[in-house]
Structure 1
Amino acid sequence: MTDTTRESRHVSVRIAVPMEDVYAYASDPANLPAWAHGLSGSIMRSGDEWVAESPMGRVTVAFTPHNALGVLDHDVTLPTGETVHNPVRVLRDGPGSEVVFTLRRRPDMTDADFERDAATVTADLDRLRQLLE
């Protein structure tokens, strides 16, 4: 049996805005360029896909269907063809919310790459908080 266990890190931010409002904004792919600079400088719908210009090059992004559970998972297909699954949740936190992004270390990532990725996700979530509060 092959060991497929990878390191994960949960990056989160608390937002003083109701969960439903955070989810409504963050689940709209057209809003990604405003807060998710690590993923998207621009994004447009192309058929059933969303195509983003990102720091990694042109990527396609597939989002989980809209739901009442706060699930914002999305798969990003990189220019190399590799698809990266990104689990994201918007959780109710009293009158506010918490957004939790599970960052998974890809097999080819160095420690520095993983730290840089975590810093990018942290900055993106903080930008989301600033936009919504």
Structure 2
Amino acid sequence: MQTLHLSVVVRREPQEVWAFARSDEHLPQWAAGLASGALQRVGDDLLVTSPMGLVRVRFVAANELGVLDHDVTLPDGSVTHNPMRVQRHPHGAEVVFSLRRQDGVTAEAFDADARAVAADLERLRSLLED
């Protein structure tokens, strides 16, 4: 299984970046690859209108470590685990998303996913720095 680590440096404190990225309210503003429309909180899960259809998103419990790992349950019932971290950086915070190539995903589709994640991370940086 291929893994690609994508990152962006944000000139803000790591805890601020973590809180913004985790917020239900802000998710559709920066994570277009995941949340392109309405979302609804159902217990610990978010039901999200995404480019993939209606998906269920569950973040790890709130923590002091900057961990934003989340599982995405796709319309077909398959679950994708997405490791994501916000860590201290000399210029603020570094957000790292580990994209894993799932079985059956073509190289072209994986590259498209990587471009989408990179764009999402850049949008997150822009929202927090502007």
TM-score for both structures, normalised by structure 2: 0.95
> In 2, Cα distance between the equivalents of 1:48 and 1:88?
18
> In 2, Cα distance between the equivalents of 1:95 and 1:9?
23
RMSD value, Cα: 0.9
CA drift of 1:46 comes to 2.0
- Given candidates 110, 113, 116, the residue that maps to 1:117 is 113
Identity between Structure 1 and Structure 2 (%): 49
> In 2, Cα distance between the equivalents of 1:14 and 1:95?
7
- Given candidates 49, 52, 57, the residue that maps to 2:53 is 57
Residues matched between the structures, number: 128
Residue 12 (structure 1) aligns with:
7
Q: Deviations over 1:64-114 (max 9, x none)?
A: 001000000000000010000000000100250000000000101000000
**Residue ranges of structure 1 left out of the alignment (5+ in a row):** 1-5
Residue pair 1:61, 1:74 contacting (<8 A) in 2 also: yes
Alignment partner of 1:83 is 2:79? yes
Residue pair 2:35, 2:48 contacting (<8 A) in 1 also: yes
TM-score for both structures, normalised by structure 1: 0.93
**Residue ranges of structure 2 left out of the alignment (5+ in a row):** none
> In 2, Cα distance between the equivalents of 1:58 and 1:51?
7
Residue pair 1:71, 1:89 contacting (<8 A) in 2 also: yes
Alignment of 1:7-46 (within 5 A): 7-41=2-36, 42-46=38-42
- Given candidates 63, 67, 75, the residue that maps to 1:71 is 67
- Pick the structure with greater CA Rg: 1
> In 2, Cα distance between the equivalents of 1:22 and 1:47?
24
- Flag as ranges the 4+ runs of structure 1 deviating above 3 A: none
Residue pair 1:52, 1:60 contacting (<8 A) in 2 also: yes
